[in-house]
Structure 1
Amino acid sequence: MGERKGQNKYYPPDFNPEKHGSLNRYHNSHPLRERARKLSQGILVIRFEMPYNIWCDGCKNHIGMGVRYNAEKKKVGNYYTTPIYRFRMKCHLCVNYIEMQTDPANCDYVIVSGASRKEERWDMEDNEQVLTTEHEKKEKLETDAMFRLEHGEADRSTLKKALPTLSHIQEAQNAWKDDFALNSMLRRHFRPMRTNRN
């Protein structure tokens, strides 16, 4: 039945394909229906999902990441060739409007007005996470011998600092390495107890 949805359309007797072109033009409607009501102003209504936790400036309530809104999407500029879009939505708890826009330079969303971001970002270096090597750094490592030597020295010192933690993790992993033998030993231990109970 689903495959016939696109084929079975009612064409009224006064419909003329040369005059009207399509059923949408005949009915004076848009294929996107209500979502395209402000298309003449360059605004398309979309379903926007909150990318991170925010605080509404109007009612001071928390709005969680993943909450969905009907937002007005409008192109406001370009970052090189990537379009920058602005999203305007009404808070579901009050009458305040929240405006956000894309930030292609940092692969993020920026709050323009109506809310403030709940700060949950961290610096990878402060968090002692291993940073990925950038493309320029990778090229320099391949071509510059002195830079490779200095970088290797820094890597070795980082490894020395992390070695006790890594060895502790390795020992914990090795304790559960042969799970079949551990399971067999446990079953062997409980089997006599189970037979005594019966």
Structure 2
Amino acid sequence: MAERKAVNKYYPPDWTPAKGSINTYRKSHPLRERAKRLHEGILRIRFELPYNIWCGGCGDMVGMGVRYNADKSKVGMYYSTPIYKFRMKCHLCDNYFEIQTDPKNCDYVIVSGASRKNERWEQPDNEGHSVDRTESHKIADDPMYKLEHGMKDERKAKEEVPRLSQLEKMQEAKRDDFKLNQMLRKKFRGEKKEIKLVKDKDDALLAKASLDIDLVAEDPDDVRRASAVFFHSKVNDMKAARRAIKAQSIFGKNKPGSTLASKGLLNPQTFTPSGLKKSKPDVGVARKEEKNNLVSYDDSDSNSDS
């Protein structure tokens, strides 16, 4: 945007090159409104906060990287390096805070209006690695220690050769992009086939049961629990009774002490399975037996009279 404003391509009809540049002719600065206080040594720039701060007006935290339109001014020198001060307004309240450069410590210092949020940790807490300079100083000062340290490094390098060669082989195998892409596409095709088979199986099950629900994946724990449940039904009792009837003898009644009767599979009095309901006696058979008894009684009476 500023670039478009700085390069003005419109030249009025009364302008000639003898009158100087277009900015001189218009009596304006190339930076336009950013330089309206340049005579006071103040230039408007875009400033980005270097760290988290607490605003002194509203007390809220302003994060690192938030950008402001700041007034930049030169306030001093550190040897040959200028010290700049930046004044900006908080976007949450009407408070102004000032930050200036610190060339000595390569940092920024808050002058007024805010306070720095302290986020400095120790090396162990920050999972960092502290640098011990004593080892390097000892190597530089003691030639014998330097020689011993070099021999240790050579021994360690020889021990690490197999591992390094293995890592190089792994990296070499991964450099073939076409082969890796081929393996990846083959894996994806296999997964798509498995997903399609599972979907077809689920659709067949839903169509068979006339259901319209979403089936979830089968859990091995649920399969194990379901296999441990035993469902008792009358069909099992009927099958057991049928096996008992097929196993009994056809030549006579089973004795009360027989194997089937002792096991409780048959009732020796009625020849019916113990688990089934007894059937009602046949009325026709009972009447036929009663008629036979009457006939035999009449025959005995006639013989006695004769």
TM-score range, shorter chain: 0.5 to 0.7
Greater per-residue strand proportion = 1
Q: CA 1:17/1:133 → structure 2, altered by over 3 Å: closer, same or farther?
A: farther
Counterparts of 2:139 and 2:82, CA distance in 1? 35
Number of corresponding residues: 166
Counterparts of 2:59 and 2:46, CA distance in 1? 23
Q: CA 1:77/1:132 → structure 2, altered by over 3 Å: closer, same or farther?
A: farther
Does 2:72 correspond to 1:39?
no
> 1:50 maps to what in 2?
49
> 1:17 maps to what in 2?
17
Counterparts of 1:7 and 1:79, CA distance in 2? 38
Any residues of structure 2 matched to 1:118-157 within 5 Å, and which? 118-124=117-123, 127-131=126-130, 140=137, 143-145=140-142
**C-alpha deviation, 1:37, in angstroms:** 0.9
Any residues of structure 2 matched to 1:37-116 within 5 Å, and which? 37-116=36-115
Determine what percentage of the aligned residue pairs are the same residue.
Answer: 54
TM-score by length of 2: 0.44
**C-alpha deviation, 1:79, in angstroms:** 2.5
Q: CA 1:41/1:105 → structure 2, altered by over 3 Å: closer, same or farther?
A: same
Give 3-state SS (helix, strand or coil) of 1:112's partner. Answer: strand
> 2:50 is aligned with what amino acid?
P
Give 3-state SS (helix, strand or coil) of 2:34's partner. Answer: helix
Deviation per CA, 1:12-35: give whole Å up to 9, x if none.
31x3433x3211111111000011
Q: Is the contact made by 1:91 and 1:98 (CA closer than 8 Å) also made in structure 2?
A: yes
Does 2:25 correspond to 1:29?
no
Deviation per CA, 1:111-135: give whole Å up to 9, x if none.
110001111122436535224578x
Give 3-state SS (helix, strand or coil) of 1:89's partner. Answer: strand
**C-alpha deviation, 1:193, in angstroms:** 5.6
**C-alpha deviation, 1:57, in angstroms:** 0.8
Say which one has the larger Rg.
Answer: 2
Deviation per CA, 1:19-56: give whole Å up to 9, x if none.
x3211111111000011011111111001112222111
Counterparts of 1:61 and 1:51, CA distance in 2? 17
Q: CA 1:49/1:192 → structure 2, altered by over 3 Å: closer, same or farther?
A: closer
Runs of 5+ unmatched residues, structure 1: 153-176
Counterparts of 1:38 and 1:101, CA distance in 2? 19
Q: Which runs of 4+ in 1 moved over 6 A?
A: 177-180, 189-192
Counterparts of 2:10 and 2:192, CA distance in 1? 70
TM-score by length of 1: 0.64
Counterparts of 1:73 and 1:58, CA distance in 2? 21
